[in-house]
Amino acid sequence: MKFMLIMRATDEAYATMGEVGFDKMLEVVGQYNEEMIRAGVLLSAEGLSDPSEGVVVDFSSEPPVVTDGPYGETKELFNGFYVINVASQEEAVEWARRMPFSGPGFKTEIRRVPTIDEFPQDNEWIKKERAWREAHGQL
């Protein structure tokens, strides 16, 4: 099963990360990533740029309104993610517990990523997506 580990942090927690040297942060995260790679569970991992560099498309009105970041409260944002392939939610929780940055204000949300096989296979759009995935080596 695939799970997404979504990393969240408050402003205070995020600030404590800034106190760690960049090279040290890369080392700590790199060791965690290497452990996941050795275990054969890591599918992808990405950090995200600062929220001030982002934009939001708000569909509350017509036409949608586009605003520059920063946006929302920190508790509404996530800073990066891992997608892992493990046997169970319990195993995903175990990997999340080993995240290199932890402490007050840090949280990891765990969400299962459904597979294409869980959708109606006779649906025209699912057939098109399956064909695209097969053509691009994603199945």
- pLDDT tens track for 64-73: 999 887 666 6
Other CB atoms within a 10 A radius of the CB of residue 1 amount to 14
Which CATH code for domain 2-135? 3.30.70.1060
Residue 72 or residue 92, greater confidence? 92
What's the pLDDT band for 75 if we cut at 50, 70, 90?
A: low
Where do the structural domains in the chain lie, given as residue ranges?
2-135
**Largest CA-CA distance found in the chain, in angstroms, rounded:** 53
Cα–Cα distance, 93 to 67 (Å, whole number)? 35
Rg (CA), the chain: 18
